[in-house]
Each structure stands twice: as C-alpha cells, then as structure tokens.
Structure 1
Amino acid sequence: MTKRRVVVTGLGTVSPIGNDVKTMWDNLIAGEVGIGPVTKVNPDEFPTKLAAELKDFDPANYMDKKEARRMDLFTQYAVAASKMALDDAKLEITDEIADRTGVWIGSGIGGMTTYEEQFRKFLDKGQRRVSPFFVPMMIPDMASGQVSITFGAKGINSCTVTACASGTNSIGDAFKVIERGDADIMITGGAESPINNMAFAGFSSMKAMTTNEDPNTASRPFDKNRDGFIMGEGAGILILETLESAEKRGAPIYAEITGYGSTGDAHHITAPAPDGEGAARAMQQALNDAEMEGTSVDYINAHGTSTEYNDKFETMAVKTIFKDHAYKLGMSSTKSMTGHLLGAAGGLEAIISILSIKHNIMPPTTNYETPDEDCDLDYVINSPRETEVNVAMSNSLGFGGHNASLIFKKY
C-alpha cells in the first residue's frame, strides 16, 4: 500500500505560557516560566505549592457561554485550541469535506474536576442535585466529541487515553488514519485540566510532584537536584491533512509528519522500564516508520518530567538509539517552563517541535544549574539555540508503560 504524505497546516494552543501559538512560542524562547503558586486548590493542604495554570482564559472568546457551561474545562480548552488551529489552517469544514474530516484528541484523565464537584454535590445534597451533564462532561472522549459537534467534522472521531502519552499517541493515530486513506484531514492533539484536589492528592501521595516552592527552579529537567514534576493544564491541537489536500487549498504548511512509534514497557504501572528500554523501541519505531537514520534527527523535545527516573532513563534510551549522534543532537524539556500538561503535553510539545523546525530555533531547558552524571547529553541549557533544524522528534511516556514518539521534518 502506498503511504499518503501527511502535513501540518494549522496549530492552536492554550497553555500556561500563552493562550495562542505566537504568545506561547515568544514566551518559550524568552525563557518565561509559566509556573506559580497554585490557586485552584488550597496549597496549605498539599506538600506541592505550585502549578502551571492558564492565565486569563475566557471560554466566551471561543464558544457560546451556555455550551461552555456544559463542558469540563479540558473540553473548553480543546474547543478553543481547535478553533485557533482551524483558523490558522484557513480551513472551513464544509459539507463537501465533512465526511473526510475527523477528530482524534486525547486526554489522560478527562473531567476529573467535574467528577470531584458533582461527587461533593451527591454527598451533600443527594442524587437529584447531580447534573444531567455530569457523565458527558467527565468522560475523556468528550473533547473529541465536542470539537466534532462544534465544527462539523463527521469523519472518524476518537480519543486515545494513555496517561501522559495521550496527546502524542492521538497525533500518531490520527496521522495513520490519513496515511492509510480513511480521512483526508484530522483535528488532533491533547487536552487536560487536572488541577484539582483529587489529582493533587493522588500525585502527592505518589511523591511524583516537586516540593520545591520556588517557581523558577521547581521544574528542572535533567538537573541533579530535580525532585518531581509541576502539574500543568491546557491543550495543543494540530491540523493534519494530506499533502494533496493542502496543496489544493493553498494551505500554509508548517512541516511534514513522517514517523510514529508506540510501545509498551510491560514492566510497572508507574516506573519506566530499566534503561528506558521501552522508550528506546518507540524512538526506533518512529525512525523506521519515517525510513530515516538516527543521524538525520537534529532536535528532540524530550518527555523530560524533572523526575529522577524519567530523565535518567530517557537519556539512556536516546543513547541506545542514537549512539554517538546522541551527543551531537540538541535536546530540551520545555516542561521546565510549561509544567507537565499530562495528556495534553504531547499536543503542546508537538507544536513546539514543529515551530523549532519552522524558526530554526531549539528552545531551552530552563532552571538547569547542577549537572547530573547520569544525564550527560546536550540539553540546550537555559538559552535558545539558533541552528538549522530539519528534523525534530517529540517523545511522551505515560503511566502504564506507554511510550510514544513522533517525527516531523521540514517540508
């Protein structure tokens, strides 16, 4: 079967460092940290005092207020980012293309804030006070469902739930839908709004989040003194379409997506496989899918959570696959500025990887101070690097042993 070429024609995001793509990118390159004191939970009740929250997000700028009230925040974020991506792609979903336009948006935990709010109502006031919209607001596929309804996309409509790999897996799955001919256009990415009491309690109990109270050093991927991640929220959405469709429309083309790898560790529910074995296989799968040698990759946007084992084992995985070239390519974790958007991380970081190609700039890993002998690659430390970027890889790794890698290249 001949593979159809797939390109990226639109980008949209709401993120802790900007509620549109240009603002997000400008702040990223400036090294702006979107982390601050958490406001959505009482910090006195948790060992972690910080989060990467959205600022000044108003759903009325993107959708009807009445409809917004029937959506959890993660779905609002997905609709907002999808609207911006469609506008960016100059794409109107008409009756002529609706059946061939699909949606595939992932979320790691869906509407947990809605679940928490409605469960409290149930305990305090009984069953009759639970909202009839509770279930459709909570389930993770509703971001994809609402985007389809809002914009009239009638093709395949799906949601990948693979914890922190959800956004990356969704983009890869959408890429394959187009490549094999089941759709011509896909709205894809990830969305998450996890900053609530139960999520904070769960991750705190696991000791997965940092207890550092300084926003400017709390998320420090690959640094020897890293001690956990910072929870973030938002959405990152891409418009993928066939090269033929994009050329026919005269659409802007940011990059071509050429490779996707997805593997399972079969090891542990939260800890990565020793030496990053599963992540290494995902990266190799993506290279094989792209029919590309590892020496072609210029930049890796790492999963880089600022946790002890992730950063160490991801570094080992890169060495396993790229060998000597591992020390020659640039690598960074933008979670140092955005925090960890969980299921939306892969959507936002795919956008960042694509923009690194467009602008020939590798964004930095900020907050890095103390080298770690186990993390000895070129992490583009503290300042962006202007250099030719023709090929970028984006990695995401999730609880349950999910590993996903995407490859984008200059068109």
Structure 2
Amino acid sequence: MFRKLHETPIAIIGMAAVFPQAHNLREFWDNIVNKVNCIEDVPPSRWNIEDYYDPDPTVPDKTYSKRGGFIPEIDFDPMEFGLPPNILEVTDVSQMLGLVVARDAMIDAGYLDAPAEVRDRTGVILGVGGGQKLITPLTSRLQYPVWRRALESSGITGEDADRIIEKMKAAYIKWEENSFPGMLGNVIAGRIANRLDLGGTNCVVDAACASSMAAMKLAISDLIEGRADMMITGGVDTDNSPFMYMCFSKTPAFTPGDVPRPFDEQSDGMLVGEGIGMLVLKRLEDAERDGDRIYAVIRGIGTSSDGRFKSIYAPRGEGQERALQRAYDDAGISPSQVQLLEAHGTGTRAGDLTEVTTVVRFFKQHIDHTEADKYMAIALGSVKSQIGHAKAAAGAAGLIKVALALHHKVLPATLNVDHPNPKLGLDESPVYVNSQTRPWISNGEPRRAGVSSFGFGGTNYHFVLEEYTPDHAGQYRIHHTSETVVFHDETPQMLINKMRKVLNKLQSEDPDEQYLNLARYSRVTNIPADHARVGFVSASPQEAMELMEAALKFLEMRKNDEEWQHPKGIFYRRRALDLSGKVVALFSGQGSQYVEMGRELAINFATIRQSYAEIDKLFKQDNLPLVSNVVFPPP
C-alpha cells in the first residue's frame, strides 16, 4: 500500500447511513450541518433503565450511564431481501439493517441494477466488532441449570422449579437451525453479497473501534490489486445492549454527564452510539470513465500499531504519529495542505489528550504557525460529539462526514465544546476546535482532510481525503436548505387541483424525494403570463406541506381575488405583472456589516464561496488578512 494510493487514488461514488436520529444519509448530514445533538436517554425499546442503571459507578452489575445514541426505527421488508418472516426473530438486527444500507448505498452509486459482469467484480468488506446482540439472549437461555440449582438451594423443587424455568426460558428466543447464522457477524457481509448477487470478496473485520477503517483499507487493497472493480465497505454496529453498557461502565470509560465533550476542558468520558455507514468505492480512473458521481477521493492510508507499551488499552502518541506520517507519505501530500481533521475524539481524558497533543506536534512540524504562514489552519472535529461512539461503525461515520464536507465545501461543527482543554496545546498551534458550521473557502489548492480512527489493542488508522471538484455548477447539496416553491395553472380551480395532487404525494410517498422534485420543478418552470400562480419559501418538506395547506385554504376562500399575501409568507397573483416599465434597484447604505454575515449563503451557494476565494487571493498577494477569515473567523 505504501505510495500505492498516490498512484491509484480511490473514488467514493456512493454512500448510505443509518445513525442516531438519522434514517438515511441526508438526515445524517442535515444533523451535522445543523449541529443537532443526537444523544438521548436509553429508549424503552432497547432496555429498561430501572433494571440496569445506577449513578454510582461502584455498584456491581449496573451501568452508571443511561445516555447514548440510538438509531431510529427503520422499515424492513423481509420479502424484498428473500428472508422468510419466520427467521426474523433469530436474525440479528445488524444483518437486516445491513441489507437496507447496502441497498441504499448501491442505489446512491447508481449500481443497484448493475449487469452481472459488474456484480461479479464487486465485493463487500465491513467492520463488525465481536459478537452480535443476539448472542446474549441465546446464551442466557442456556443458563437454566444455574437457575435450577439456585431454585433447589432455595427450597423450590419439582414441578414448581420446572414451571419457573420454563417461564424464564420463554423470555429468550429459542435455539433452532437459523439461530447460529442469525447471530454471526460475518453473515452481515454474507447476506449482502448473497442478496445483491456480488461475486467479489465478502468478509468482516474486527479492529475494535477502528473496525470500519480496517475494512476500508482491505477493500481498497482489493481495488488497487485488481481483485475487484467496485467494493462496498464501512461499518456496522447496532449493539447498545445492557451488556455493551456494562463493558464500558466497568472499564470505566463513560462520562457520568448527559453528553460527550471531546476536546472540552470538562471532558470526562464517552457515550456509545449505534450506527451503520457504508461507502461504494471504485478506482478513480474507472469512476471517471464510467461517468460516476464522485463525492471525494481517498488519496492516502496510514496504519500502525502502538507496539509494546504500558497497557494494551492505553493510547500511545508515537503509534498514532506513525499512522499519520504513513498516510501523508502514501498520498504524496504535505500535511500542511490539510484544512480539516476528523479526530477519533471519543471524549475520554486520556484519549483526547494523547491524540490532540500528537496531532499538534505532528502538524507543527509541517506548518510554521507564524505571521508568514497565517493562512494555514486546521479545523478539528469529532462526530462522536453528536452521535456518540458508534464503535465498529465509528470510522465510517467520521469518513462519511468528511466526504460530505469535501463534497459540500463545508467545515462541520463539533458540539459541546464550551472551552477547549488548555492541556491540548491548541494555543499557538495551527489546529483549532471548529465549534461552528462554516463555509470552506478555497485557498487555491484542492481542499484536503484527514480522518483518524483508533482501536483497543493499539491499532491506528489515518485516511487522507481530497475534494473531487473545486466547486459545483449544478445541484449538489443533499441537506435541506430553503427552497422556492411555485405552482401555476390556467385557472385558480385548476391551480387548487394541482396543489392538492402534489400535497397528497408529499404526504403519502417519500417526502424528501417528492420535495426535491417539487423544488427542481419550481426552478425550471416557465409560467405563462395568463396563469394563476402561488409561491412561498420553505426550509423542509414538513414546512412545505404546512404552507401548501394554508395556501389552499386561502385559494378556496379568495378564488376571485387578483392577488393576495398570506401572513406566513405565501404570495398569489391571478396573472403576471406588467413588466414593460423600467426596473429600479435600491442598495442600502454601508456600516451594517457583522461577523458571519451571509454564512448560510456561503455554506449553500458555490458562487458566494467563489467570490470570497477571489477576494482572498487579492488580499493574500498584498500579505493582508484574508477577508473570509475576518467574516467567518475560526471559533
């Protein structure tokens, strides 16, 4: 692999995800852009807090945390994937949802219905940690000899003991022919290869918290070595069971607080999250040849082990630095060209301190943070501040976040950092904690980012990513933004009928997809001068539906009006304005500028970012502070 990615870069052509409070990739990115805290109390659908929680960490067999990140309910049709409904009870949820996310990733890449010759050269390698949740009830069912001895020693014997044991057995799923494959982690990849009819490698990798990045590395090796032409890879972890909470409670690694605080001076532990993230990868030259949409390009990978150290669980800076150096050597890129760094960033005191001080030391070697190099800065973040530590899927969450950041030209925010920990050494360093979603203004070089993932046992991974296009000419955003929605038709009644039809589709079908179609229609539609028309601006499908209902009520009441305006910002005209006169533009006076003015415009519109980049270029020529850094300063 050494320098191999420099010679054969890898394109990310498809992605899909299910993470806390995110049914899909769009909602995951929406949550990131909008700084949504996805941590919550353990829901009753997982386990009863009263059974396992005690705030005292010393209490045996109890967890002192009741908070975490939990994936939402996801629709699953077993018949779509050829699974008999009678095996669902003995099939781990990770296998079922793995099928859903893999399907969505292939849809996103445009290859769900690929011809046989393409599928034959496609594989799936996933990061999956240890055993799956189903192991716990299956193992618990086998404890009946222990229960019987406990009952007999308490004076309960014979039929009474038998009845009690049968009741306890009934609380757990039964062992049958599908139980064994239903609980195996490797079958997650196996089912995907089976149902999508893939002929390449299918396996899973366990590198603890770095599992998904280990899987990506192996998937990329298959592509570079020519063993495959396309790979599905990423991580799967749906286990936030009491067993998992006990593991991290007795380590102990959990924060006793409500949220994880990576990089904050009050940081005192992590919280766990569930999640599934998958990417579809191809060699860059093949993706370009085939006209694939490319989110970002993987340019380098660095891996290392900590070697002999004081504890197999303790992070070691020297090992992490080796992974960093090897990644940039592999990419043939100087670390000074990186502007975004997605850290492992769990929120534990020892972990964050080791990682960030190592990062600061490493990048200081390559960036002289003086007046002569004032234009170089690296935004530091961790998606774990939003969704918790997704364990085997954590690296996939971080890499998907960075790929989308490069695609959208956005520096994503990290949550829950009130005051960066002074022990991290960020002052007088090129690294800063990015606590605000900000536009990523080009400095004339390709935007580049790094992603780290480390695992128990001293395993370290670092990936180097690069944007594919400097900016976009067409539609590219996947997160929700404010959209102009316009309807028109020959008569007010025909307009009402059209709006009702569209509203019904929004309410009964996929609202996100229907809303996007509606926004596209509104942008390109040509309205005849004699048509009745109504329009508004909405920020989401839900708001669009609310405004459509309000507009319909007004239209029904005021069909004969020439024009009206609704208090909610809905505008109607029976026919077009007479535009034969002159157009006058009025510009307001100066002096009302403020920091972060136009931030959302710059985040969402390429032309604004391009304007700032051009102005920055002129200021840099005169050795002046960049305008973009003044308007959108690092937090």
TM-score normalised by the chain length of structure 2: 0.61
Would you say the 8 A contact 2:90–2:182 is kept in 1? yes
Matches within 5 A, 1:377-388: 377=426, 378-388=431-441
Alpha-carbon distance, 1:69 to partner: 4.5
Distance 2:356 2:26 in 1: 30
User: Which range is displaced more, 46-55 or 318-327?
Assistant: 318-327
RMSD of the alignment, in Å?
2.2
User: Which range is displaced more, 89-98 or 282-291?
Assistant: 89-98
Matches within 5 A, 1:197-212: 197-212=242-257
Matches within 5 A, 1:268-283: 268-273=311-316, 276-283=317-324
Q: 1:38 to 1:98 in 2, by over 3 A?
A: same
Matches within 5 A, 1:290-369: 290-323=331-364, 325=367, 328-369=377-418
Alpha-carbon distance, 1:104 to partner: 0.7
Amino acid at match of 1:374: K
Task: Establish whether residue 57 from structure 1 lines up as the match of residue 74 from structure 2.
Answer: yes
Matches within 5 A, 1:3-402: 3-39=7-43, 40-44=46-50, 45=52, 46-60=63-77, 63=81, 66=85, 68-91=88-111, 92-111=113-132, 113-124=133-144, 129-212=174-257, 214=258, 218-266=259-307, 267=309, 268-273=311-316, 276-323=317-364, 325=367, 328-377=377-426, 378-388=431-441, 390-402=447-459
Amino acid at match of 1:42: N
> Relative contact order (C-alpha < 8 Å, sep 6+): which is higher?
1
Would you say the 8 A contact 1:8–1:240 is kept in 2? yes
3-state SS in 2 of match to 1:167: helix
Amino acid at match of 2:121: R
% identical aligned pairs: 30
Compare CA radii of gyration and give the structure with the larger one. 2
User: Which range is displaced more, 183-192 or 322-331?
Assistant: 322-331
Amino acid at match of 1:368: V
Distance 2:313 2:303 in 1: 17
Distance 1:19 1:300 in 2: 26
Alpha-carbon distance, 1:63 to partner: 4.2
Q: Deviations over 1:255-283 (max 9, x none)?
A: 1111111111123332112xx11111111
Distance 2:422 2:287 in 1: 46
3-state SS in 2 of match to 1:164: coil
Alpha-carbon distance, 1:21 to partner: 1.0
Task: Establish whether residue 408 from structure 1 lines up as the match of residue 414 from structure 2.
Answer: no
Alpha-carbon distance, 1:313 to partner: 0.7
TM-score normalised by the chain length of structure 1: 0.92
3-state SS in 2 of match to 1:131: coil
Question: Size of the alignment, in residue pairs?
Answer: 404
Would you say the 8 A contact 2:89–2:173 is kept in 1? no
Q: 1:100 to 1:373 in 2, by over 3 A?
A: same
Correspondence for 2:521: none
Distance 2:231 2:440 in 1: 31
Distance 1:326 1:182 in 2: 42
Q: 1:136 to 1:50 in 2, by over 3 A?
A: same
3-state SS in 2 of match to 1:374: helix
Alpha-carbon distance, 1:379 to partner: 4.3
User: Which range is displaced more, 151-160 or 75-84?
Assistant: 75-84
Distance 2:359 2:204 in 1: 28
User: Which range is displaced more, 7-16 or 251-260?
Assistant: 251-260
Correspondence for 2:147: none
Would you say the 8 A contact 2:125–2:189 is kept in 1? yes
Deviation beyond 6 Å, 4+ runs, structure 1: none
Distance 1:142 1:323 in 2: 44
Alpha-carbon distance, 1:311 to partner: 0.6
Q: 1:68 to 1:293 in 2, by over 3 A?
A: farther
Correspondence for 2:574: none
Alpha-carbon distance, 1:70 to partner: 4.9
Distance 1:320 1:148 in 2: 43
Distance 1:207 1:243 in 2: 43
Unaligned 5+ segments in structure 2 are 53-62, 145-165, 370-376, 469-635
Distance 1:175 1:123 in 2: 43
Q: 1:381 to 1:391 in 2, by over 3 A?
A: closer
User: Which range is displaced more, 41-50 or 250-259?
Assistant: 41-50
Distance 2:286 2:458 in 1: 36
Distance 1:370 1:211 in 2: 19
Unaligned 5+ segments in structure 1 are none
